[in-house]
């Protein structure tokens, strides 16, 4: 049974029909990349899964439990964390406070919070050096690390990342994708949204291609990297 | 010496402004809504305190000042619940209706609360029971005088503000409140129940406002139904001066406004104090449109 299963998902913004029947599955332990052009509906897909937007039709099941229609603040506790697009750190909270907010669902479990903090500091030693700094004073790359670290503080089983490489220098982009692989190696299932299709498919086991609210292609990442249409439309090849 | 006396008086009035300004700033923080009803919730604190004291003194045989304590706690709880009720009835249904509708709704609630007070308590000035507040004072070197009441009031205001500051800075719920002030959706992704945080803000802000209403009435002795507009509006201005949405800013803004006003009326003339205070306010806002402590860090890098 898939960890995450999405069937016939339809989402609207007012009259804008953003998702037009999306089907998608993520198996436990996988890295799945969702690629597509700007405006294809990638962010909308993640926001619908995390409960920020209610779908008009379709179902989302996580670990056998229906989560479509559940409010966002209850979904995190079920094991789904989202790293939102555009480095949405809490700018006037310190790094430590940002991490504490990530662990909000753990309540007063100080031991678990401390343990998770240790784990994310091992993953991002830079954050530990900056732990008393305000989030807004970090560099772009550090802010992206903080959003990922913050999402990990909730001990998710499924981590969804929305364009983590956007606007970062090439060297940092590489680090971010390596980190994604490392997180996955620790047993966290990953749903990765990217416009950087090549890097996203290289790191993934499987991929989906989204176009104007429809899944137009899906399959093993290696196969998609070789696919004629993908190469033309998303990998910039002739 | 006159200067020190003026400063002490200014700080006292400033503490009142700060306490009320906190309610404006906290609601603005989480909802980006200027809760114009806050001044009238504050005024209701004064009226409820009056009723509470009269009832309590009627039950008791003697006039002990200790009766103030349970009454002020009841006032705080009642006004806090009133704040949550105002939000539920007048603002919550308009959460997704844009910025203008809730502001108009807030003005509507302000008028309703004010009219209710006038109809129930009358339009004339009301006076707190005589001799309930401790009189007397301390005369310091050089003839500077501090009343006992002034000391009590200052200690109470600073304790409340200190407690609020610690709550927002040191506790999980307080940090969540600051997170919600920055970004609702990201807060939801953390598992924070944003609606619940908003309800907490509507408990704390009006709760403090209700206490402030009773303290102001105790300090001045009398008031009328325009207290919410006059005093409340100044507290709102103090919140803007400090940087609306910013909790330490509200405290600073209130203090500054209280001190500037008092010095202006002491050294120049009481008739000119508002002219001076607001000219200074305008000048500060020209140089710092976001208020003194507003947006210390860029929202997004
Ligand atoms: N808040 C919104 N209001 C209206 N339309 C929106 C909103 N957000 C996204 N859309 C529309 O929904 C579609 C999908 O957007 P999005 O999911 O952000 O795409 P992607 O993340 O793939 O770039 C686009 O056509 C976009 O214009
Ligand atoms: Mg997007």
Distance of alpha carbon A88 from alpha carbon A163, whole angstroms: 12
Kindly state whether A140 is in contact with chain B, defined as any CB-CB distance less than 8 angstroms. yes
Question: Is B21 within 8 Å of B253 (Cβ atoms)?
Answer: yes
State residue B196's pLDDT score: 97
Give the separation between CA A113 and CA A27, rounded to whole angstroms: 27
Decide whether any atom of ligand 1 lies within 6 Å of the A171 Cβ: no
Contact call for A90 and B185, based on CB within 8 A: no
Could you tell me what percent of chain A has a pLDDT over 70?
Answer: 100
Q: Is there a single domain that holds both residue A14 and residue A68?
A: yes
Q: Residue A238: its pLDDT value, please?
A: 63
* Residue range A87-103: mean pLDDT, rounded: 97
Q: Which residue has the higher pLDDT, B60 or A141?
A: A141
> Quick check: B147 pLDDT over 60?
yes
Token couple for B101:
């509708």
Question: Per mean pLDDT, which range of B78-87, B247-256, B266-275 is the poorest?
Answer: B266-275
Q: What integer is the mean pLDDT of B224-250? A: 93
Cα(B38)–Cα(B23) distance, integer angstroms: 7
Residue B182 CB neighbours (<10 A): 21
| Pairing assessment for the beta strands A206-211 and A214-220 based on DSSP bridges | antiparallel
Q: Are residues A96 and A145 in the same domain?
A: yes
pLDDT above 80: residue B61: no
Q: Are residues A171 and A215 in the same domain?
A: yes
- What is the count of structural domains for chain A? 2
Structural domain boundaries in chain B: 2-287
- Give ∠ CA A123-A199-A118 in degrees, rounded to 5: 10
Q: Whose CA is nearest to atom 12 of ligand 1?
A: A18
- pLDDT exceeds cutoff 90 at B285: no
Evaluate if residue B30 carries a pLDDT over 50.
Answer: yes
CB pairs under 8 A between A and B: 85
Report whether pLDDT(B170) > 90.
Answer: yes
Return the exposure string of B82-108: e unless at least 16 CB atoms fall within 10 Å of the residue's CB, then b: bbbebbeebbbebbeeeeeebbebbee
B189-198, B253-262, B275-284: the lowest-pLDDT one: B275-284
With the most atoms of ligand 1 within 8 angstroms of its CB, the residue from A22, A35, A43 to mutate is A43
The backbone torsions φ and ψ at residue A155, rounded to the nearest 5 degrees and listed phi first, read 55, 55
pLDDT bucket at B141, cuts 50 / 70 / 90: confident
* Chain centre distance of CA A220: 19
In this structure, what CATH number is given to the domain that contains residue A219?
A: 3.40.50.300
CATH of domain B2-287: 1.10.3470
ipTM of the complex in this document? 0.96
For residue B145, what pLDDT band results from cuts at 50, 70 and 90?
confident
Mean pLDDT (whole number) for B20-43: 96
0.90 surpassed by pTM: yes
Q: Looking at the structure, do residues A144 and A68 belong to the same domain, yes or no? A: no
A73 and A183 in a common domain: yes
The reply to whether A117 and A162 lie within a common domain is no
- Give residue A20 CA to ligand 2 midpoint distance, Å: 16
Q: Is B194 on the interface with A (CB under 8 A)?
A: yes
Decide whether any atom of ligand 1 lies within 6 Å of the A86 Cβ.
no
Half-sphere exposure of B33 (CA within 13 A, CB side): 28
Cα separation, B249 vs A171, whole angstroms: 41
- Reduced 3-state DSSP string for chain B: CHHHHHHHHHHHHHHHHHHHHHHHHHHHHHHCCCCCCHHHHHHHHHHHHHHHHHHHHHHCCCCCHHHHHHHHHHHHHHHHHHHHHHHHHHHHHHCCCCCHHHHHHHHHHHHHHHHHHHHHHCCCCEECCCCCCCCCEEECHHHCEEEHHHHHHHHHHHHHHHHHHHHHHHCHHHHHHHHHHHCHHHHHHCCCCHHHHHHHHHHHHHHHHHHHHHHHHHHHCEECCCHHHHHHHHHHHHHHHHCCCCHHHHHHHHHHHHHHHHHHHHHCCHHHHHHHHHHHHHHHHHHCCCCCCCCCCCCCC
Nearest CA to ligand 1 atom 7: A13
Mean confidence (pLDDT) of chain B: 92
Nearest-CA neighbor of B195 among B77, B38, B31?
B31
Residue-level pLDDT at B144: 86
CB atoms B189 and A71 under 8 Å: no
- If you measure from the C-alpha of residue A37 to the centroid of ligand 1, how many angstroms do you get, rounded to a whole number? 11
> Per the CB < 8 Å rule, is A101 touching B301?
no
Domain that holds residue A70: 1-79+156-238
Looking up tokens 């364009």, which residue turns up?
A163
User: Strands A31-35 and A206-211: what pairing?
Assistant: parallel
Least Cα separation, residue B189 to chain A (angstroms): 6
CB A41 within 8 A of CB A210: yes
Which of A153, A170, A203 is where one domain is finished? A153
Closest in B176, B191, B194 to A154, CB measured: B191
Least confident of A60-74, A126-140, A153-167, B126-140: B126-140
How confident is the model at residue A231, as a pLDDT? 92
CA geometry: angle A203, A73, B106, nearest 5 deg? 130
Which residues does chain A have within 8 Å of residue B297's beta carbon, measured at their own beta carbons?
91-92, 134, 136-137
As a 3-state breakdown, chain A gives helix, strand, coil percent values, each rounded to 5, of 40, 25, 35
Average pLDDT of chain A to the nearest whole number:
96
Residues B48-63 have a mean pLDDT of: 90
Are both A123 and A9 inside the same structural domain? no
Could you say which ligand is closest to the alpha carbon of residue A47?
Answer: 1
Mind listing the pLDDT tens digit for each residue in A41-89? 999 999 999 999 999 999 999 999 999 999 999 999 999 999 999 999 9
Partner-chain residue, chosen from A91, A105, A138, that has the shortest CB–CB distance to B182 = A91
pLDDT at B301 over 70: no
Inter-chain residue contact A91 with B189, CB threshold 8 Å: no
Q: In this predicted model, what pLDDT tens digit does every residue of B97-136 receive, in sequence order?
A: 988 999 999 999 999 999 999 999 999 999 998 878 888 8
Q: Once rounded to an integer, what is the mean pLDDT over residues B231-241?
A: 93
Q: Which of A44, A163, A210, A216 for mutating ligand 1's site (highest number of atoms within 8 Å of CB)?
A: A44
A11 lines ligand 1 (CB under 6 A): no
Question: What gap in Å lies between CA A101 and CA A224, rounded to an integer?
Answer: 37
Are residue A148 and residue A162 in the same domain, yes or no? no
Regarding whether A93 and A52 lie in a shared domain, the answer is no
pLDDT in the model for residue B295: 67
Q: What is the pLDDT of residue A108?
A: 85
A163 and A74 in a common domain: yes
Ligand nearest to the Cα of A16, by number: 1
A93 touches chain B (CB under 8 A): yes
Asked whether residue B212 carries a pLDDT value surpassing 50, the answer given is: yes
């Amino acid at each position: 049974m898939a960890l995450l299963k999405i069937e016939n998902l339809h989402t609207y913004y007012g009259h804008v029909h953003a998702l037009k029947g999306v089907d998608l599955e993520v198996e436990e332990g996988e890295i799945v990349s969702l690629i597509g052009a700007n405006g294809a509906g990638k962010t909308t897909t993640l926001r619908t899964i995390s409960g920020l937007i209610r779908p008009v039709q379709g179902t989302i099941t996580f670990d056998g439990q229906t989560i479509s229609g559940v409010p966002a603040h209850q979904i995190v506790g079920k094991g789904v964390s989202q790293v939102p697009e555009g480095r949405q750190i809490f700018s006037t909270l310190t790094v430590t406070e940002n991490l504490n907010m990530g662990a909000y669902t753990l309540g007063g479990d100080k031991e678990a919070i401390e343990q998770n903090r240790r784990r994310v500091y091992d993953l991002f030693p830079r954050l530990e050096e900056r732990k008393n700094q305000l989030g807004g004073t970090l560099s772009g790359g550090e802010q992206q690390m903080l959003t990922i670290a913050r999402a990990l503080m909730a001990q998710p089983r499924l981590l969804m990342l929305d364009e983590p490489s956007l606007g970062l220098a090439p060297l940092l982009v590489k680090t971010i994708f390596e980190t994604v692989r490392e997180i996955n190696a620790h047993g966290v299932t990953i749903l990765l949204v990217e416009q950087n299709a090549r890097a996203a498919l290289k790191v993934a086991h499987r991929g989906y291609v989204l176009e104007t609210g429809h899944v137009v292609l899906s399959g093993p990442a290696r196969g998609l990297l070789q696919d004629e249409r993908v190469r033309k439309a998303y990998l910039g090849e002739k | 010496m006159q200067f020190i006396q003026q400063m002490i008086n200014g700080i006292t009035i400033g503490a009142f402004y700060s306490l009320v300004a906190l309610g404006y700033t906290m609601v603005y923080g989480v909802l980006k809504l200027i809760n114009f009803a806050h001044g009238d919730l504050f005024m209701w604190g004064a009226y409820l305190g009056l009723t509470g004291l009269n009832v309590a003194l009627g039950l008791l045989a003697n006039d002990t000042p200790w009766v103030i304590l349970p009454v002020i706690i009841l006032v705080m709880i009642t006004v806090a619940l009133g704040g949550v009720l105002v939000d539920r009835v007048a603002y919550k249904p308009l959460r997704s209706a844009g910025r203008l509708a809730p502001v108009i709704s807030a003005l509507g609630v302000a008028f309703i609360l004010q009219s209710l007070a006038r109809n129930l308590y009358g339009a004339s000035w009301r006076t707190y029971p005589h001799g309930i507040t401790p009189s007397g004072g301390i005369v310091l070197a050089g003839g500077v005088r501090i009343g006992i009441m002034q000391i009590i009031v200052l200690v109470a205001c600073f304790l409340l503000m200190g407690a609020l500051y610690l709550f927002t800075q040191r506790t999980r719920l307080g940090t969540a409140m600051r997170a919600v002030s920055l970004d609702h959706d990201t807060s939801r992704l953390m598992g924070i129940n944003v609606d619940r945080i908003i309800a907490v803000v509507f408990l704390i802000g009006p709760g403090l406002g209700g206490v402030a209403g009773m303290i102001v009435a105790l300090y001045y002795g009398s008031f009328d139904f325009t207290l919410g507009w006059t005093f409340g509006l100044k507290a709102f201005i103090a919140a803007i001066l400090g940087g609306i949405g910013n909790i330490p800013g509200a405290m600073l803004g209130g203090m500054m406004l209280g001190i500037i006003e008092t010095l202006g009326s002491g050294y120049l003339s009481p008739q000119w104090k508002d002219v001076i205070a607001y000219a200074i306010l305008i000048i500060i806002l020209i140089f710092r449109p976001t208020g003194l402590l507003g947006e210390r860090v860029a929202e997004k890098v």
